[in-house]
Chain A
Amino acid sequence: MKEEKEVKTATTSNGKIDQIIDKYQGDSSALIQVLLEIQSENRWLPKEALDKVSKKLEVPLNQIQHVATFYKAFSLVPRGRHEIQVCMGTACHIRGSPRVLDRVQDLTGIRPGETDLDLKFSLETVNCLGCCAMGPVMVVDGKYHGKTVPAQVDEVLKNYD
């Protein structure tokens, strides 16, 4: 919890969020684009930011919540330092990605969509990354690990702290 507080203070003082919102002043149809930019800048959407978006874009907060919870790209909680994505596309699935995911879950103690308490890892599943030749694919912080077998997961994840 303590760390979460720290993250929050860091974001509210972040002028970049204001800049993003200012670019789209009053344009309610830009809602998704604004949220995407904040998400990619800040890696999650703090309540304060959503309040600001609501005021500046003149969109009710409940509608923003609807959008922010509907789409997969948005996170309403802080993310871990490292992002693990396990591809669950069909090609990866039949080549054994469920077993890879099981191993990731065992090692990190979190399920897809979750972040561990130390804010070390966030785990997500994705539906096809478009590199089916390498399946099963696991991506950690943008680095692709192809033809993954469960035993490899240990090797990969121990390099992060």
Chain B
Amino acid sequence: MPRINSPAELEELRKGILSKRDPNKPCITLCSGTACHASGSEEVAASIEEEIKKQGLSGKVDFRKTGCHGFCEKGPIIVIHPEKICYLQIEPKDIPEIISQTIKEEKVIERLLYTDPTTNEKVVHESEIPFYKNQERLVFGSNGEIDPTSIDDYLALGGYSALAKALSQMTPEQVLEEVKKSNLRGRGGGGFPAGRKWEECRNAPGDMKYVIVNADEGDPGAYMDRSLLEGNPHSVLEGLIIGAYAIGSHEGYIYVRQEYPLAVENVGTAIEQAKEHGFLGENIFGSGFDFTVKVHRGAGAFVSGESSALMTAIEGRVGEPRPKYIHTAIKGVRDRPSCLNNVETWATVPLIINKGADWFAQLGTQGSKGTKIFSLVGKVNNTGLVEVPMGITLRDIIYKIGGGIPGDKKFKAVQTGGPSGGCIPEEQLDMKVDFDELAKAGSMMGSGGMIVMDEDTCMVDVARYFLDFLSDESCGKCVPCREGIRQMLKILTNISKGEGKEGDIELLEELSQVTRDASLCALGRTAANPVLSTIHYFRDEYEAHIKEKRCPAYVCKALISYYIDPEKCQACMICLRQCPAGAISGGKNQIHVIDQEKCTKCGTCFEACPPRFGAVKKISGEPVPSPIPEEARMIARKSKENE
């Protein structure tokens, strides 16, 4: 591949790529993101390749494995271009029909389309599906169109034109000014203005400076950085190079978790391709600017996602945070000025350069500009990654895009911001989502995890879950965090076991305060948020656990029992056969009874009992009725066929 030495050559290359592509040639794109991969997209891909050959279409139809399309709930997803027909939940057995019907005969296969759950209407195109229709996919949108291992795909969509513009038409100061003017705030959680960080690093004394991509995405339930890096690694790289130019850095790091092997691989490929094209290396676009980048794999520690800890880890040491009286922008990796931003932040930069700060700043709210990618997960119909403008309401995200709560259950809360965030109750669903509003509600933006909870979620259990996570992940360096979290976890565990006592809630609040005030890094300073927000909004649940020894959501194992209602049991043997503990006695025509001594409360019987019987019940806060006497257990059936 010849080096690209000027913006004109880049434009020529792009035209060359486009001229070789027939826009009317059918192209099948298959989502190969992690979630689709897990639900079998690999087998689907094999079957597409085979079927194209088998039906004699080799060379007549393109096939592209793309990154995550976002609609993980319905994966694996296929989109057929140029019509953009979208098929969902594809299995290998559907492929022969797709090739023969849709590709050859241009017929749409109804059964594979999205069905609107309210109107029952079929939706043909991806962009018309409500999940996508209500989004604004600026950063994430290209993911579904390009093969992440092909730089040509990225170039065809105008890739690296922002870099060309920055390097040939703008001075570093102008680039910096543009980013500052755009008011882009860090997408990793803190929301610190990226431009200000860049400026501080640029002005810091020293010739050697580093720019770093933080892809140590650790919040459980958040996976947008992973999907971006896996699906569109060049966009992150391009943003990073632009940032390096503005800051005056010649060396960069991409810090990726080793738990994301595909991201590591795709980013590595992208770096090689960028080098070949001359987007990395010496004298980029003939501007005299040099820049190289290395991948550093993180070895699995949540706290290492904190900026100073991450920089220590890059040096090959244990990633523990240090006090930041002196910002990492002044003294970071090897005590040199280092500018760290999150994956999504870097990926937003090329857009700002291409379209201008004014364009960017018109999106979003007063204090939070642009769009944000959220991972909408939990008890929601349309699990997936959604990109929305800042300022959209929680209700719109959960109901318009997310399609509401499955199984007609009642919404209880939405948890944002990962372990540092909090739970937001129904009363606040009309809140506009941005950095400041979320913080006001006692939560935070975080990296964009949004976990929807329904009536079956116990808020004490949620708080306990996050503290369990944090006590495991606290590096232990400072006492308030290490001990504070441990003590709070102990109290919460006691409460969830029915061993809570009067005064526990107040003690939790007090411990929260100290942990918040006296911890060094954000992990400790925000650790109490899940506790405080759940106490604030769901105090009644805590009180039910403590005073009545009752778990209102029927989650806390020690406080619930399973019981078979003899009036409803049809003696169908289903739960009896499935019980892994052998705790259910009974027989054909004999009402089943759970032996409470043997029961491990795994819930298998509850799930196994056919809904039309609904005989298995969860009980909490009251004694289990004593089993009906043996002689009363026989069921007289009218006819055997009912069996």
Contacts and interface: CB of A to CB of B under 8 A. Distances in A.
Contact of B379 (A28, A72, A94, A126): A94
Contact of B227 (A35, A95, A130, A146): A130
A132 B301 contact: no
A142 to B, nearest CB: 10
B378 interface: yes
A89 to B, nearest CB: 4
Contacts of B317: 31, 63, 67
A128 to B, nearest CB: 4
A67 B378 contact: no
B300 A32 contact: no
A102 B604 CA distance: 12
Main secondary structure, interface of A, reads helix
A151 B222 contact: no
A91 B378 contact: yes
B73 A133 contact: yes
Given A36-B258, A71-B300, A144-B38, A133 B377 contact: yes
Interface residues of B, number: 58
A129 interface: yes
Given A30-B316, A103-B580, A146-B39, A128 B300 contact: no
Contacts of A154: 580
A132 B375 contact: yes
A134 interface: yes
Nearest to A139: B38
Nearest to B466: A90
A84 interface: no
Given A66-B318, A95-B378, A149-B607, A137 B38 contact: yes
Contacts of A35: 299
Given A102-B600, A150-B603, A95 B72 contact: no
A77 interface: no
Given A94-B453, A130-B227, A133-B75, A67 B318 contact: yes
Interface residues of A, number: 46
A73 interface: yes
A36 B465 contact: no
Nearest to B259: A126
Interface string B453-474: 1000100001001100100000
B383 interface: yes
A52 interface: no
Given A36-B299, A106-B580, A133 B384 contact: yes
A90 B449 contact: yes
A154 B604 CA distance: 12
B258 A127 contact: no
A149 B313 CA distance: 38
B377 A134 contact: no
Contacts of A127: 218, 220, 302, 469
Nearest to B297: A36
Contact of B299 (A59, A71, A102, A144): A71
Interface in A50-91: 59, 63, 66-67, 70-74, 88-91
B511 interface: no
A130 B316 contact: no
A66 B312 CA distance: 14
Contacts of B297: 32-33, 36
Nearest to A33: B297
Nearest to A107: B580
Contact of A151 (B39, B301, B315, B604): B604
B221 interface: yes
B493 to A, nearest CB: 13
Interface in A1-35: 28-33, 35
Contacts of B608: 151
B328 interface: no
A102 B602 CA distance: 8
Q: Which of B72, B300, B449 has the most CB of A within 10 A?
A: B300
A67 B317 CA distance: 7
A87 to B, nearest CB: 8
Contact of B220 (A30, A31, A128): A128
Nearest to B457: A94
A117 interface: no
Given A31-B316, A94-B451, A128-B223, A134 B35 contact: yes
Contacts of A29: 314-316
B46 to A, nearest CB: 16
A30 B379 CA distance: 42
Interface string A106-149: 10000000000000000000111111111101000000101001
B34 interface: yes
A98 to B, nearest CB: 8
Given A91-B378, A150-B604, A133 B35 contact: yes
B409 to A, nearest CB: 12
A154 B602 CA distance: 13
B617 interface: no
Nearest to B454: A94
A102 B558 CA distance: 14
Contact of B316 (A28, A103, A132, A133): A28
Contacts of B304: 71
A19 B101 CA distance: 53
A130 B602 contact: no
Nearest to B320: A70
A93 interface: yes
A77 B132 CA distance: 47
A58 to B, nearest CB: 11
Contacts of B220: 88-91, 93, 127-128
Given A30-B316, A71-B300, A94-B379, 20 more contacts: A29-B314, A32-B299, A32-B316, A66-B318, A70-B301, A72-B300, A73-B299, A89-B221, A90-B378, A90-B449, A91-B377, A93-B462, A102-B600, A127-B469, A129-B259, A131-B72, A132-B378, A133-B73, A134-B38, A149-B603
Interface of B: 34-35, 38-39, 72-73, 75, 218-223, 226-227, 258-260, 296-302, 304, 313-319, 375, 377-379, 383-384, 415, 418, 449, 451, 453, 457, 462, 465-466, 469, 475, 578, 580, 600, 602-604, 607-608
5 contacts: A32-B297, A91-B377, A132-B72, A151-B580, A151-B607
**4 nearest interchain CB pairs?**
A130-B223, A72-B300, A71-B299, A132-B377
